A and B are shown apart, each in its own frame.
Chain A
Amino acid sequence: MNALDLFGYAIDLLAVLLLALGLKGLSTVRSARSANGLAALAMGLAVLGLLLQIQPDPTAWLWIAVGSAIGGLLGLITARRVPMTAMPETVALFNGCGGMASLLVAVAVALYDSADADLVALISIVISVFVGAITFSGSIAAMGKLQGWLGTPGWTQSSVRHGVNITLAIAALVAGITLPGDPSGVSLWLLVGASSLLGIGVTLPIGGADMPVVISLLNSYSGVAAAAAGFVVGSQLLIVAGAMVGAAGLILTQVMCTGMNRSLVSVLFGGALGGSAPVGGGGDEAGYSRIVSCSSEECAMALENAERVVFVPGYGLAVAQAQHALRELSKLLEANGSEVSYAIHPVAGRMPGHMNVLLAEADVPYEQLLEMDTINPEFPRTDVVIVLGANDVVNPDAKNDAQSPLYGMPVLEVDQARQVFVVKRSLGAGYAGIKNALFELPQTAMVFGDAKAVLQQLCTELRSQGVGKVAA
């Protein structure tokens, strides 16, 4: 061990320390941003330390430069360009690529460099390929579903899917076992193929409301894949960082499941709630008996006289890109003397924190975003609640109807408020595909339309009433 090696090891240790501190810091609002920078710094240090230890020759440098330039540039562009509303898909995409990287490393070693591999190395290769492929294909499938490129095919809701997935899992297992004694590469490709299909087969049946959980779980997998790749190339730094992310991702997944009152098992194997309900809602207007709908004028009048207004944003807000219109409306209301806040359900949107990110983009003050436990006691003294594209998270059946599939899920108790307006495109079912008892309550009125259009109409109405003239 010469001095340079020693220096490299010291850098490795420092990198692990900074990564751990970064991950820790990311869980507190105050420190989150600097913690992210710290983790990025740690990553840079780790790369530097490794380059010092391996000392690539000029050919290697060339390939490193090419690979980094392309990947880095694409990452930079994607991160800059992507709209805030597409954050969940973006995280899924990045995550999938991390899994792909681990998969490629393991495949490369298996194909060209496995002559002196011992049993441990071979097992690591199998795990790395298996988990890496699932992470990649699963993340891309999740991204496709969130983007609306992929639906939820009917067969994935029947028990056929269990048969398909079990077959794929067995195929992957067989391929993994036969891999060490098979120089032809057939086992390897079977393993890659079966694992990739398994990733899709497991993700596809899962309904959109559960998508955050899946992405978080896949994030945990990509950590496991990295740790396995660490065993393949013999890097302890990789193992420790991968294990850290894997474990942290698992905890985060658990936290999210608790927020939805669902178990991980039911998310993964239960299929979409409500079975055949098409993703994105629509259809199924039957079943509602007493719905009151109203125009935006009536809604604006109620808002004008309201002392206290609470907005409940949901995925519909993100789809309609209505966050800026919402902010404008709340500015008008504040100028009119109303107290405005936003009720954030832990799983509103397609990703935990989705709504926070979205509203932050529109400059909504952080203090106005209230979490469920804080806002629920406030609803009885709230004059007007406006539900924007949220559905299942405000369904009172979750408290009252033991027969409901949502029963037990903590919800925003908007039914306690004096008046509720639900802005929605149609009476279509929510993501869980079930009826919402809130819509039939006497204090509820539906305002049909696209969230952004309705919000803009409300602003116009309020302005024509003379609200906010001075402030504007």
Chain B
Amino acid sequence: MTSLSQALWVLLLGSLLGLELIGKVPPTLHTPLMSGANAISGITVLASLSLIANAKDNPALLLLGAVSLGFALFNVIGGFLVTDRMLAMFSRKPSASKAAKTTAEAAR
């Protein structure tokens, strides 16, 4: 019973942490945040790995474990990469527009 109550505490505290972490988010970041959180939810890889490790050579378990590992890793790797792609666009600095403005001034 200790392990259950422990697990429930972990569940409770984890949920509270999640509620606290996301307070104010600028709308700009909604999509990347969703995508990033989504990648984190791919943490099911751990469950898939445990399943495979505890399969005791049962082929069905190994197969199901490997398939679920594939799905989970698809989520994790794809999710983090796509989030990074989105965020990489935000980090570019507005040198282009400034250059355009100075040329405009020069033209006038």
Measured CB to CB, the residues of A under 8 A from B are: 19-20, 22-24, 26-29, 32-33, 35-37, 39-40, 43, 46-47, 50-51, 54-57, 59-60, 63-64, 66-68, 70-72, 74-76, 78-80, 82, 84, 87-88, 90-91, 94-95, 97-98, 100-105, 107-109, 111-113, 120, 212, 215-216, 219, 222-223, 225-227, 229-252, 255-256, 259, 331, 334-337, 344, 346, 351-354, 356-357, 360-361, 363, 365-369, 371, 470-471
Q: How far is the CB of B7 from chain A (nearest CB, A)?
A: 6
Which A residues touch B32, using CB under 8 A? Answer: 26, 32, 36, 353, 357
Measured CB to CB, the residues of B under 8 A from A are: 3-4, 6-7, 10-19, 21-55, 57-58, 60-94, 96-97, 100-101, 103-104, 106-108
**Known contacts A78-B74, A238-B46; is A223 also within 8 Å of B103 by CB?**
no
Q: How far is the CB of A32 from chain B (nearest CB, A)?
A: 5
Are A105 and B51 in contact, with the CB atoms below 8 A? Answer: yes
**Known contacts A104-B71, A471-B107; is A26 also within 8 Å of B33 by CB?**
yes
Report the nearest B residue to A351, measured CB to CB: B31
Are B78 and A334 in contact, with the CB atoms below 8 A? Answer: no
Q: Which residue among A101, A235, A243 has the maximum number of chain B CB atoms within 10 Å of its CB?
A: A101
Are B84 and A252 in contact, with the CB atoms below 8 A? Answer: no
Q: How far is the CB of A219 from chain B (nearest CB, A)?
A: 5
Q: How far is the CB of B69 from chain A (nearest CB, A)?
A: 4
Are B11 and A219 in contact, with the CB atoms below 8 A? Answer: no
C-alpha spacing A471/B23, complex, angstroms? 43
Q: How far is the CB of B35 from chain A (nearest CB, A)?
A: 5
**Known contacts A43-B80, A68-B70, A75-B78; is A248 also within 8 Å of B64 by CB?**
no
Are A79 and B82 in contact, with the CB atoms below 8 A? Answer: yes
**Known contacts A112-B58, A244-B21, A248-B21; is A98 also within 8 Å of B38 by CB?**
yes
Q: How far is the CB of A252 from chain B (nearest CB, A)?
A: 6
Which A residues touch B92, using CB under 8 A? Answer: 360, 363, 366
Q: How far is the CB of A300 from chain B (nearest CB, A)?
A: 18
The A contact surface, by secondary structure, is helix
A-B contact pairs, 16 of them (CB 8 A): A23-B37, A27-B21, A33-B88, A60-B55, A60-B62, A66-B66, A70-B70, A90-B78, A105-B48, A108-B51, A229-B44, A241-B43, A247-B15, A251-B19, A357-B86, A471-B100
Are B106 and A353 in contact, with the CB atoms below 8 A? Answer: no
Are A365 and B29 in contact, with the CB atoms below 8 A? Answer: no
Are A246 and B61 in contact, with the CB atoms below 8 A? Answer: no
Q: How far is the CB of B84 from chain A (nearest CB, A)?
A: 6
C-alpha spacing A219/B35, complex, angstroms? 9
Are A353 and B36 in contact, with the CB atoms below 8 A? Answer: no
Closest 4 CB pairs between A and B? A247-B18, A365-B94, A243-B14, A352-B30
Query: Given contacts A43-B42, A43-B45, A252-B33, could you give 17 more A-B pairs where the C-beta distance is less than 8 Å?
Result: A23-B21, A23-B36, A39-B80, A55-B53, A63-B52, A67-B70, A94-B79, A97-B42, A100-B71, A101-B47, A105-B44, A216-B30, A230-B47, A240-B13, A242-B43, A244-B14, A346-B27
C-alpha spacing A56/B46, complex, angstroms? 13
**Known contacts A245-B37, A351-B31, A353-B31; is A238 also within 8 Å of B44 by CB?**
yes
